C-alpha cells in the first residue's frame, strides 16, 4: 500500500480507502462485513470511510465494532453528516449547528472512538447559513472530536466559500469526496482546479461506476444474479444510468487495454482515478473479502500515457462531464 497527503496538510491516508456504503448494516451480514474490514487491514488499508446516514447509523456501528481492537493511532477513520438519521425528525437532517453537534457525538459513540480523523459535510445545505455550519465544524475541531474537516459533492464555488470561512475561523478544509470514474468526470472542469488552488484533495467514490467498469455487465444480456444492477434496495437505481448498450459496449472494449496493463478491469478503473494527482484516495467497497484482496492491487500502479490515451479513445466520449451534475438536495425535505 502507498500513502498520499490529504490536501495541504501533514496527514497521510492510504491510496485505497475502505468504504461501507450500501453494504454494511444493510446488504451483507455483520460477520461478513467484519471479514471485509479484516481483509482491508491485511491488505495494508488504514483509511476507513463511512457516514451516519448509511443504513440509518448501522454502518457506523458495524465499522466501530470491527475496528475496536485495532491501534487507533494507526487508523484514519472518516465519517459524514447531513443526511436524515434516527426517526428523521425536523432537526435530524442538514448542516445546522444542532444537527452537526448531536450527530458527531452519535457517530463517535457508534464508532467507539474519541475522535474521527476527518469529519465531512456529506452535501451542501442550502437552508442553513454557511457561517453557522463552518462555526460548528470549527468548534468540533477545537473540542478534539475531529482532527480535520472535509466536504462531499460541493461545487467549486461552495468549496471556495467554505474554505474562506474556515480560514477565518482558524481551520482548513482539506478534502472533497466526489463521485469520479472514467464514466463520471464532472469534477475535472471546475472542482479539481479550485481544489488544487486552495489545497484540497479528492477522496473519490464509485471509481468503478457502481461496478459497471468491472466488465461483468454485457450489452443485450441480463445482469448477473446478485449483482448491484439487480439490487432492489438502492443499488439498481444508482447503476441504471450506465446500463445502456452503448456504454456497456464501450466498457467491454476496455478488456484488452486492462490485459495490456496486466490488470483486471476493476483494478484498471481504480488505478485510472489514482493517476489524477489531485486524488488522494479511491474508496473501494466490498461485499466479499476476496474483492478487496484482488482490487487493492490497483494501489501504486502507474499507467503509461499510451494506456490512458487508449482508455479515453474508447470511453471518453461516453463520460458525463457537465459540472452542473455536482449538486446537493435543494431542500431538507428532498
One pLDDT digit (tens) per residue for the chain, 334 residues: 999 999 999 999 999 999 987 554 455 567 788 889 999 999 999 999 999 999 889 999 999 999 999 999 999 999 999 999 888 889 999 999 999 999 999 999 999 999 999 999 999 999 999 999 999 999 999 999 999 999 999 999 999 999 999 999 999 999 999 999 999 999 999 999 999 999 999 999 999 998 899 988 888 777 676 666 556 565 667 677 888 889 999 999 999 999 999 999 999 999 999 999 999 999 998 888 898 999 999 999 999 999 999 999 999 999 999 999 998 987 665 4
Q: Judge whether 138 lies within some domain.
A: yes
Q: Judge whether 262 lies within some domain.
A: no
Q: Classify residue 29 by burial, with Cβ atoms within 10 Å: 0-12, 13-18, 19+.
A: exposed
Catalytic residues: 54
At 110, which helix (H) or strand (E)? helix 97-111
Q: Judge whether 97 lies within some domain.
A: yes
Q: Classify residue 164 by burial, with Cβ atoms within 10 Å: 0-12, 13-18, 19+.
A: middle
Q: What is the pTM of this model?
A: 0.92
At 65, which helix (H) or strand (E)? helix 58-67
Please give the pLDDT value at position 334: 42
DSSP for residue 189: T
**Cell (9 digits) for 134:** 463552518
Q: How many domains does the chain have?
A: 1
Residues 6+ apart with CB under 8 A from 188: 321
Q: Which residue has the cell 444537527?
A: 99
Q: Judge whether 260 lies within some domain.
A: no
Of the candidates 68, 58, 67, which has an alpha carbon nearest to the alpha carbon of residue 25?
A: 58
Q: Judge whether 327 lies within some domain.
A: no
Q: Judge whether 256 lies within some domain.
A: no
- Measured at the CA of 302, the angle between CA 210 and CA 249, to 5 degrees, comes to 40
Q: What is the CATH number of the domain that holds 47?
A: 3.20.20.100
Q: Judge whether 55 lies within some domain.
A: yes
Under a CB-based contact definition with an 8 Å cutoff, are residues 147 and 117 in contact? yes
Under a CB-based contact definition with an 8 Å cutoff, are residues 25 and 59 in contact? yes
Cα dihedral 25, 331, 49, 69, rounded to 10, equals -60
Q: Judge whether 273 lies within some domain.
A: no
Please give the pLDDT value at position 333: 54
CA distance 265 to 261: 10
Helix, strand or coil, per DSSP, at residue 282: strand
Structural domain that includes position 194? 3-210+278-297
Amino acid at each position: 500500500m502507498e500513502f498520499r497527503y490529504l490536501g495541504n496538510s501533514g496527514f497521510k491516508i492510504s491510496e485505497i480507502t475502505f468504504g461501507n456504503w450500501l453494504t454494511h448494516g444493510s446488504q451483507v451480514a455483520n460477520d461478513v462485513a467484519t471479514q471485509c474490514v479484516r481483509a482491508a487491514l491485511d491488505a495494508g488499508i488504514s483509511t476507513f470511510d463511512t457516514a451516519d446516514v448509511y443504513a440509518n447509523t448501522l454502518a457506523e456501528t458495524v465499522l466501530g465494532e470491527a475496528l475496536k481492537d485495532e491501534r487507533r493511532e494507526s487508523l484514519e477513520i472518516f465519517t459524514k453528516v447531513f443526511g436524515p438519521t434516527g426517526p428523521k425528525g425536523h432537526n435530524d437532517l442538514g448542516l445546522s449547528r444542532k444537527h452537526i453537534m448531536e450527530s458527531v457525538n452519535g457517530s463517535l459513540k457508534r464508532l467507539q472512538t474519541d475522535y474521527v480523523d476527518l469529519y465531512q459535510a456529506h452535501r451542501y445545505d442550502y437552508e442553513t447559513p454557511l457561517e453557522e455550519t463552518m462555526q460548528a465544524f470549527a468548534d468540533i475541531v477545537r473540542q478534539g472530536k475531529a482532527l480535520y474537516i472535509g466536504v462531499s459533492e460541493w461545487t467549486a464555488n461552495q468549496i471556495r466559500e467554505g474554505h474562506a470561512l474556515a480560514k477565518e475561523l482558524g481551520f482548513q478544509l482539506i478534502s472533497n469526496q466526489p463521485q469520479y470514474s472514467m464514466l463520471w468526470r464532472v469534477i475535472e472542469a471546475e472542482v479539481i482546479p479550485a481544489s488544487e488552488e486552495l489545497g484540497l484533495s479528492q477522496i473519490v467514490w464509485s471509481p468503478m461506476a457502481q461496478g459497471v467498469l468491472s466488465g461483468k455487465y454485457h450489452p443485450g444480456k441480463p445482469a448477473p444474479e446478485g449483482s448491484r444492477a439487480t439490487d432492489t434496495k438502492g443499488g439498481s437505481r444508482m447503476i441504471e444510468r450506465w446500463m445502456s448498450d452503448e456504454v456497456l459496449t464501450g466498457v467491454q472494449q476496455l478488456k484488452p487495454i486492462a490485459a495490456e496493463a496486466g490488470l483486471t478491469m476493476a483494478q484498471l478503473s481504480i488505478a485510472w482515478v489514482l493517476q489524477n494527482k489531485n486524488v488522494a484516495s479511491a474508496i473501494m467497497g466490498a461485499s466479499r473479502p476476496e474483492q478487496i484482496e484482488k482490487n487493492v492491487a490497483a494501489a501504486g500502479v502507474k499507467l503509461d500515457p499510451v494506456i490512458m490515451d487508449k482508455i479515453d479513445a474508447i470511453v471518453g466520449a461516453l463520460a458525463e462531464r457537465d459540472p452542473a451534475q455536482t449538486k446537493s438536495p435543494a431542500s431538507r425535505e428532498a
